[in-house]
Structure 1
Amino acid sequence: MVVKLLKQILSEWNEMKLDMLINKKKVRDQRNDYDLQVLERKQQLSERRKTEIVKGSAKVKIIKVEEVSHDLKDALYTCHFKWLNKQQDSFYLEERIEQRKARFYRDEIVDDHLIEKNSNDYVPAIELEEARSKESFTYDRLAAVQYAERWWNSPNPAYINFEVNCTNFISQCLHAGGASMRGYPNRSSGWWMQHNNWSYSWSVANSMRIFLTNSKAGLRAEKVESAEQLMPGDVICYDFQGDGRYDHTTFVVAKDQENMPLVNAQTYNSRMRYWSYEDSTAYTPNIKYMFFRIIDDTSSK
């Protein structure tokens, strides 16, 4: 009975956040003003893109309830948000899974926040190993995008998966597109996941950025200046703090009506999300991006 009641309360709370976006209502709540600022940024982003959120849903699943004291309870839960976006004469479905923690005082929410997932991305210097010049690579963008659509919200048991899984997911997408692994067993060299081990470039955002910047054969990429230049199957790296250390990677799966990328990602599982991440709790005004167009042996020079 307790779980059922808390689920109902959380469902109503998250539906209220949806209502803010769909009906452009201003919501003020002292429980988590920062969370509401993120919603406001999403609302403002939609307005700038001339995109309307016409419908949505928020499905709550409670993972665990902990009794802190007689009057206090904590609930760990997930919320699967769906937003139906209309842009010009086109519609697309955006999805996001949030892992959250809510605190209840006598069955009233007094705090609700996204569970942050932080990783220690320190790695030793990456060796800029080159692929063998004879190694061929033809990139199947369709297969890579199909993989990103199939696995954006679940771990593929064929791979090791991590709590902070964003770059591992991108590597899996690239591998599904035909990119060959190389460099095993040196973790600082190449790009690979084999025998319960992996290279830094396979699993760490900043290391993947270094690898894609410097690789000259096999899996490689060209840095471009703007998001509009990317295609489905390309990669975006994010430096949220603007300190030169890249924290996150996403995979382009589609373009919107203004030729801007929509991306899939893991860690905070997202599908068809607008590329800029202004609606992320990690976003700061200092954010920097790096745009990588994957190239292969058939790419025009």
Structure 2
Amino acid sequence: MRDQLQKHLENMVGEYVSFERLSNSADLKVERKIGGLQRRNAEIVKAKATGAIIKKEQGENETELVRYRAHFQYLIKQKSSLYIEEEVEEREAEFYKGVLVDDKEIEPDYQKQSMLNDLQEGGEADVRLKFHYDRLKAVQYAETWWNSYNPAYKSFDVDCTNYISQCLHAGGAPMRGYPNRGKGWWMQNNNWSYSWTVANAMRWHLPGSNAGLQAKETAAPEQLLLGDVICYDFQGDGRFDHTTIVTGKDADGMPLVNAHTTNSRMRYWAYEDSTAYTPNIKYKFFSIDDQN
């Protein structure tokens, strides 16, 4: 069973490398990823995938369901530069009498957490918390914990914004507002503000805060620096679902990002290859104030 899963994963990443097989692929995610690479004059020159089984359970009629974690690595060439993009998916495979018959990604329920809070902060006291944002330390933290979880913090099934908050805090952004969950930005004593953990709340906190962690919205992704933040409204309905941090730039100066939930490293910022992507997607680009 383990060998079958590994062979299946190798066939999956083979579709990204062998462009001529695209017409035979029904996988929209593959098509979007390859299409996005082509528009950037980039290509995957090598791909690797490994799987680790999480749990097994018996299904009906001699079937067995296997939940596993797939780790994908792509060596991407763009112009004269090379970089490695990584992504970790949780997937479920179905076997019938030991033969793989189905395999699918378990899609994160981003909206489940975004609906916890509709916070739009405003009217805060003008209390100044001076700090210098160390972008390098924020990025170093993002690289260290992109595919694992710091035991000093609570983790969540939808962990994207919690992870970004940790990165920003590692860069020097001070917590404030405890114990009011609807104000400030904080996590302590096994409690947390909405803005620390909920994508929609962080989207409003960053430009609305006038103390401590603050950010200015920029018009275009190429204006972002390392350590800056992108917020994603996948459905385009005004409720933001996901948050990432800029950890690199591609050959055209466009952001590459790290994220949790579907753990990703050096992923192209637009997320066109995500299962959550829709044509209605909207983005917010926030540059963190270096000094305030």
- Retained in 1: the 8 A contact 2:119–2:204? no
- Compute the RMSD of aligned alpha carbons: 1.5
1:10 aligns with 2:5: yes
Q: Offset of 1:129 from its aligned partner? A: 5.4
* 1:91 counterpart letter in structure 2: L
Q: Tell me by how many angstroms 1:11 deviates.
A: 1.3
**4+ residue runs over 6 A deviation:** none
Unmatched segments (≥5 aa) in structure 2: none
Query: How many Å separate the matches in 1 of 2:235 and 2:101?
Result: 29
**Percent of aligned pairs sharing the same letter:** 55
Q: Which whole-Å CA distance do the structure 2 matches of 1:163 and 1:191 have between them?
A: 20
Which residue number corresponds to residue 144 of structure 2?
Answer: 150
For 1:14 and 1:7, locate their aligned partners in 2 and report how far apart those are by CA, in whole Å. Answer: 11
Residues 124/22 of structure 1: CA separation in 2 closer, same or farther (3 Å cut): closer
Match of 1:26 among 22, 28, 53: 22
* C-alpha spacing 1:155/1:237, structure 2 compared with 1 (3 Å): same
| Structure 1 match to 2:247 | 253
Match of 2:42 among 32, 48, 51: 51
- What letter matches 2:64 in structure 1? K
Name the structure 1 match of 2:54. Answer: 63
Confirm whether residue 291 of structure 1 aligns to residue 285 of structure 2: yes
Query: Structure 1's 134 and 60: CA in aligned 2 closer, same or farther, altered over 3 A?
Result: closer
Q: Greater CA deviation, 43-52 or 67-76?
A: 67-76
Aligned AA for 2:82? F
Deviation at 1:20, TM superposition (A): 0.9
Aligned residue for 2:22, secondary structure, equals coil
Give the TM-score normalised by structure 1.
0.92
In 2 relative to 1, CA 276–127 (structure 1 residues): closer, same or farther, beyond 3 Å?
closer
- The superposition leaves residues 84-124 of structure 1 with CA deviations (integer Å, 9 ceiling, x where unpaired) of 11111111111011100011222332221111222243226
Q: Given that residues 233 and 282 in structure 2 are in contact (C-alpha distance below 8 angstroms), is that contact kept between their aligned partners in structure 1?
A: yes
Q: How far does the alpha carbon of each residue in 1:196-229 deviate from its partner, in whole angstroms, 9 at most, with x for none?
A: 1000000000000010120123210000011000
Residue 90 of structure 2 corresponds to which residue in structure 1?
99
- 1:124-177 Cα deviation digits (max 9, x unpaired): 645435365432121000000000000000000011111110000000000000
Matched ranges for 1:80-159 at <5 A: 80-118=71-109, 119-120=112-113, 121-123=115-117, 125-128=119-122, 130=124, 132-159=126-153
Q: TM-score by structure 2 length? A: 0.95
Partner of 1:74: 65
Distance 2:256 2:62 in 1: 44
Q: Distance in 2 between matches of 1:124 and 1:93?
A: 36
Q: Which runs of 5+ in 1 are unaligned?
A: 1-5
Deviates more, 1:116-125 or 1:284-293: 116-125
- Which secondary structure state, in structure 2, belongs to the residue aligned with residue 86 of structure 1? strand
Hey, what does 2:173 align to over in structure 1? 179
140 and 50 in structure 1: CA distance in 2 versus 1, 3 angstrom threshold: same
